[in-house]
Amino acid sequence: MFDQSKVRALVEPILNASDPARALQEHVVSAGGNWADPDSTDLFEISFVGIAGIGFGREEAAEHWIANAITQLSIEQLEALA
């Protein structure tokens, strides 16, 4: 089970960033993770804080990671994002 307040605290600034994929990348790298910048059509996977996202290119993978992170939130935590 995820700590929903921690997931929300992580997702909120990523959602509000002008470039969510870049914001997610900064979080991954600052936590000691690795981030490879593939060509935009390469299959890309992000696995961070127990949540995964996959897609063709970093933007699509980041979108899926964000969507998967949001599914871990309760309705109350989700409403707090709005």
Indicate the Cα dihedral angle 18, 22, 23, 26, nearest 10°.
Answer: -150
Which helix (H) or strand (E) element contains residue 61? helix 58-70
Residue pLDDT, tens place only, 11-68? 999 999 999 999 999 999 999 999 987 667 789 999 999 999 999 999 999 999 999 9
For residue 55, the 8-state DSSP code is E
* pTM score: 0.86
The Cα 4–Cα 44 span in angstroms is 26
The Cα 23–Cα 20 span in angstroms is 5
- pLDDT band, residue 74 (cuts 50/70/90): confident
